[in-house]
Amino acid sequence: MAHRILIQAIPRSMVIAGALVLITALPARTDIYKYIDENGVLHFTNVPTRSGFRLYIHERPSKKLRQRSSNRYDSLIRQAADRYGLSFSLLKALIKVESDFNPRAVSKAGALGLMQIMPENLKEFRIDNPFDPWENIRGGAWYLNQLLDRFEGRLPLALAAYNAGPNLVARYQKSPPIRETQDYVEKVMKYYYVFQD
């Protein structure tokens, strides 16, 4: 079952991610402008209606940015996306940010493979070999699906939970005030936009 992704008025870091979901509905060649209001809420538009809006995304992402992706795992990503009702572009963006398409990646924290699964989660995610691309992608997609269910389709919260853990996100009911997590959500959403082009 496909997830409905919700966007709500929330602080800057979360609005960036939510707004980029909205951007995907716009034509491929559209400039996007941003504005931070007096409450710290970030607004996005393709038609600035007041002064203070600044250019955020110009037309299309650069060729250089698009060329940094790998198509090697696209069929596996598509299978997992279809299985769990996820967007192919979203899943590919997550893999790009997590491991840069390196199936042998191991993080400083010990996360493994394409989707950087922590060793203590392998059994729950039904992964025998975390370096097997299909097992890793399938397990990570299953987990992302679980997070989207838990956070009622709110993509920025699900992504923050993928990075920082669901309990921390549930405690704050927004992206926790951790720069790494906020940057992570923004990067995933940037590539989500890039891979839809």
Question: What is the per-residue pLDDT across 99-144, written as a single tens digit (0 to 9) for each?
Answer: 999 999 999 999 999 999 999 999 999 999 999 999 999 999 999 9
What sign has the CA pseudo-torsion 3, 9, 189, 120? negative
Alpha-carbon distance of 12 to 167, in angstroms, equals: 21
List the chain domain ranges: 12-65, 70-196
- The model's pTM is 0.69
Nearest residue to 44 (alpha-carbon basis) of 79, 10, 93, 73: 10
pLDDT at 79 over 90: yes
3-state SS assignment for residue 184: helix
Average pLDDT for 67-96: 91
pLDDT at 13 over 70: no
Which pLDDT score, from 0 to 100, does residue 29 have? 46
**How far, in Å, are 59, 60, 75, 186, 189 from residue 27 at the CA level?**
9, 10, 26, 21, 17
14 secondary structure, DSSP code = H
- Report how far Cα 183 is from the mean position of its chain's Cα atoms: 11
Answer for the pair 94, 185: CB distance below 8 angstroms, yes or no: no
22 or 55: which leads in pLDDT: 55
Answer for the pair 142, 125: CB distance below 8 angstroms, yes or no: yes
Place 47 in a pLDDT band, splitting at 50, 70 and 90: low
Active-site position among 98, 124, 152, 186: 98
Which pLDDT score, from 0 to 100, does residue 143 have? 98
pLDDT at 38 over 60: yes
Alpha-carbon distance of 140 to 91, in angstroms, equals: 9
Kindly indicate whether the domain formed by 70-196 is annotated with CATH number 3.40.50.10860: no
Which pLDDT tens digit goes with each residue over 19-35? 444 444 444 445 666 66
Answer yes or no: 98 catalytic: yes
Place 65 in a pLDDT band, splitting at 50, 70 and 90: very low
pLDDT at 165 over 50: yes
Alpha-carbon distance of 125 to 36, in angstroms, equals: 39
